[in-house]
Amino acid sequence: MSENRLAAETSPYLLQHKDNPVHWWAWGPEPFEEARRTGKPVLLSVGYAACHWCHVMAHESFEDPQIAGVMNALFVNIKVDREERPEVDQIYMSALHQLGEHGGWPLTMFLNADGNPFWGGTYFPPTARYGRPGFSDVLQQIAEVYRDDPQKIRTNTEAIVSRLHKAAQPKDGVAIGLAELDKAATQLIEVFDRANGGLRGAPKFPNSSLLEMMWRAGARTGNAQMRALVAFTLNRMSEGGIYDHAGGGFARYSVDEIWFVPHFEKMLYDNAQLLELLALAHKDTGDALFLDRARRTVGWLEREMRTESGAFAASLDADSEGHEGKFYVWGFKEIEALLGADDAAFFCRLYDVTPAGNWESGNILNRTNAGDVSAEDEARLAPMLDKLLDARAARVRPGRDDKVLADWNGLMIAALARAGAYLGEPSWVALAERAFEAVVAHLSRGDRIGHSWCDGKAVFPGLASDLAAMARAGIALHEATGKGEPLDRAVTWLTVLERHHLDAGSGAYFLTADDAEDLILRPRASHDEASPNYNAVAADALVRLATLVGDEHLRARADRVIAGLSGEAAGNVLSHAALLNAIDTRLRLAEIVVVGEKREAFAGAALRSEFLNRVLVRAAAAQDLPPGSLAAARVSAAPAEGAAFVCVGARCSLPVTAPDQLAATLAEFSA
């Protein structure tokens, strides 16, 4: 057997390293047994397939025979895909923070044979530069201290692990109500970039949970500025280089403050969250730009991210042919040859394309300074973009990480179901259904679900994030289609979440299951990362499910999760936007009940209402309503052909007897 053991793995990221001269191990008990046997420390390297700086460190250090020789002689080396094992990444990234270091990938941590960390960093150059020590020097010094000063190592590990456990303790709960939500949104306004949208400074991330928080606050308070800031941010992103104008979809972030130069990798979770926001913004403003970006993003998703199973791949790499962004950048002459002189002059003026290039030696398509583009000009541009997309298909593509992650798929399935029903795009809902079926087919075992599936291999058991996000997906599909099976799955998954992930100390959920592999601690997080925090997703799903199935115990569980994490959220509201959004759902959810023979006409009208704070219940008659439905007492007054009721808090409307009247009733009861 080769001393690099990654060839037996299925993770595309791990397979990128299978030919390194480093004697890599995959995560598991075996490398720690080897560390105990040899007395060597462990070098843990964590990254992901679309990570540019992970590639840089790999080329500079892990592919270098001399550096690899030092690694092999002095360390037991473990390579981890953070997307496949997010619980491992979360623990050791938290440890890096305890050392006072900023996080990022690649994550480079040094551990003892019990898995306890004693030092770490992120990217290290092969030799000292950029104010960073050289990796070879770091390796020699770490190994020397580990060998010669075990007491120092012991002191470091004990201090870090102690701080990790202390940080994991629940904070005292505080009451968070509508006033606190409004205050948080007002604080958010103060840090918004009025010139470019989003939060001030660079790099710029979409921060979708924060945008959703602002969007909800605009509806709640009637402050039009809040929604205007969200729409402005989406406009700047949609016109900037962070959006792929030829192919659709958004990159992970921009390196500047104007959304111009993207970090070119595309992540499934970003595009799921942005799809929902684009749908909401289009309906609210009527701006065709948002609808176009939503449609093109779904086109990209279907064309480039669907796996053979029907589920969605995790990400696309930033690099191709060894260069970041090469797949996405254009030359002026190239565009002129494709479009002809007249069309090219028109196109290049609007898309900031110049002979000298607007980035390095090429051009990133963007309309940051194009101003308002008329509908006539948009119609003229559309076939030109299609020509560029066809031509780009002949280029060497960036790598695709084909892992099917249950949690990221859950977010995208929910987004497709919600946005598709909301905008009248049934093909999006169908796309969501096929992906849901694929995740169930490949990742479910009985009532459990796995986290990752790739090349026939599943990582099992799954995480709390998988159960929560797939429950959200099941609820969204049930509302969009009226089918019962996705709802039944959501009930099952949230039952498993309670059984295997409950943290009795906080009332919230551990990321890992109680029967999963032992780690140095069970991670439990409340803050958002690039995707919404799983506890927040779970709380939101529990609130909706409580109404759909008529189970007050589910609502009580949501209250318990929110209360258990409220102390942490109050201490840093901007990093807990998803939890604040779940609280908004808990306090303001509208139950729309449609009954009678023509209830699907009313259901269609309900699905065309904003989806953030409503849940749709279908029933043929009063006896079919969920237990405890607020509308039960009023259904007897509904005409046989059908009606709708809107219930918010303890109030229910009179029967709405025409679908086109539902929006006005919903607005009245939600005010």
Write the pLDDT tens digit of every residue in 368-394.
999 999 999 999 999 999 999 999 999
What span, in angstroms and rounded, lies between the C-alpha atoms of 441 and 216?
35
What span, in angstroms and rounded, lies between the C-alpha atoms of 293 and 238?
7
Positive or negative, the CA dihedral 524, 528, 530, 536 is: positive
Mean pLDDT (whole number) for 539-561 = 96
- Average pLDDT of the chain is 94
Which residues are registered as beta bridge partners of 587? none
Q: pTM to 2 decimals?
A: 0.94
Structure tokens at 464: 């709390």
Structure tokens at 339: 């479009």
Mean pLDDT (whole number) for 409-425 = 98
Q: Which of 513, 528, 399 is nearest to 467 (CA)?
A: 513
Structure tokens at 103: 């996080």
Kind of pairing between the strands at 42-47 and 76-81: parallel
Q: How many helices (H) and strands (E) does the chain have?
A: 25, 21
Structure tokens at 515: 């029967």
For the chain, the structural domain boundaries read 6-168, 179-320+401-588, 328-394, 590-670
**What is the end-to-end Cα distance of the chain in Å, rounded?**
67
Which residues are registered as beta bridge partners of 46? 80, 107
Instruction: Please tell me the predicted confidence (pLDDT) of residue 188.
Output: 92
DSSP 317-372: -SEETTEETTTT-B-HHHHHHHH-HHHHHHHHHHTT--TT-SBTTBB----TTS-P
3-state secondary structure of 116: coil
Q: Outline where DSSP puts E strands in 455-540.
A: 457-459
Displacement of CA 53 from its chain's centroid (Å): 20
Higher-pLDDT residue of 469, 324: 469
Positive or negative, the CA dihedral 352, 355, 356, 361 is: positive
Phi, psi of 101 (to 5 degrees): -100, 150
3-state secondary structure of 553: helix
- Count of Cβ atoms closer than 10 Å to residue 441 Cβ: 12
CA dihedral 37, 38, 39, 41 (to 10 degrees): -110
What span, in angstroms and rounded, lies between the C-alpha atoms of 525 and 521?
12
Q: pLDDT-derived band of residue 495, with 50, 70 and 90 as boundaries? A: very high
Query: By percentage, how much of the chain surpasses pLDDT 90?
Result: 85
Residue 60 has pLDDT above 70, yes or no: yes
Instruction: Please tell me the predicted confidence (pLDDT) of residue 130.
Output: 64
Give the pLDDT confidence of 299-335 residue by residue, as tens digits.
999 999 999 999 999 999 998 888 899 999 999 999 9
What span, in angstroms and rounded, lies between the C-alpha atoms of 212 and 610?
12
Structure tokens at 230: 């969200």
CB-based contacts of 223, cutoff 8 Å, min separation 6: 217
6-168, CATH topology level: Glutaredoxin (3.40.30)
Instruction: Please tell me the predicted confidence (pLDDT) of residue 575.
Output: 94
Structure tokens at 597: 């023979």
User: In this structure, are residues 392 and 404 in contact, taking their beta carbons and an 8 Å threshold?
Assistant: no
* CATH 1.50.10.10 given to domain 179-320+401-588: yes
Give the pLDDT confidence of 230-274 residue by residue, as tens digits.
999 999 999 999 999 999 999 999 999 999 999 999 999 999 999
Q: Which of 404, 436, 341 is nearest to 10 (CA)?
A: 404
Q: pLDDT-derived band of residue 140, with 50, 70 and 90 as boundaries? A: very high
Which residues are registered as beta bridge partners of 315? 267, 401
Q: pLDDT-derived band of residue 571, with 50, 70 and 90 as boundaries? A: confident
What span, in angstroms and rounded, lies between the C-alpha atoms of 511 and 523?
6
Angle at alpha carbon of residue 109, lines to 106 and 111, rounded to 5°: 155
Residue 1 has pLDDT above 50, yes or no: no
The full 3-state SS of 517-544, as one line of letters, equals CCCCCCCCCCCCCCCCCHHHHHHHHHHH
- Determine the residue type at 670: S
- Count of Cβ atoms closer than 10 Å to residue 169 Cβ: 9
Residue 433 has pLDDT above 80, yes or no: yes
Instruction: Please tell me the predicted confidence (pLDDT) of residue 167.
Output: 79
Q: pLDDT-derived band of residue 5, with 50, 70 and 90 as boundaries? A: very high
User: In this structure, are residues 330 and 245 in contact, taking their beta carbons and an 8 Å threshold?
Assistant: no
What span, in angstroms and rounded, lies between the C-alpha atoms of 660 and 519?
55
CB-based contacts of 228, cutoff 8 Å, min separation 6: 218
Positive or negative, the CA dihedral 376, 380, 381, 385 is: positive
Q: Which of 325, 465, 455 is nearest to 397 (CA)?
A: 325
Phi, psi of 7 (to 5 degrees): -65, -25
What span, in angstroms and rounded, lies between the C-alpha atoms of 354 and 342?
15
- Mark residue 636 as left, alpha or beta (left: phi above 0; alpha: psi -120 to 50; beta: remaining): alpha
CB-based contacts of 294, cutoff 8 Å, min separation 6: 275, 278, 279, 282, 419, 423
Q: Which of 144, 125, 122 is nearest to 135 (CA)?
A: 125
- Count of Cβ atoms closer than 10 Å to residue 162 Cβ: 11
Mean pLDDT (whole number) for 486-504 = 98
Mean pLDDT (whole number) for 348-354 = 97
Instruction: Please tell me the predicted confidence (pLDDT) of residue 2.
Output: 64
Give the pLDDT confidence of 573-590 residue by residue, as tens digits.
899 999 999 999 999 999
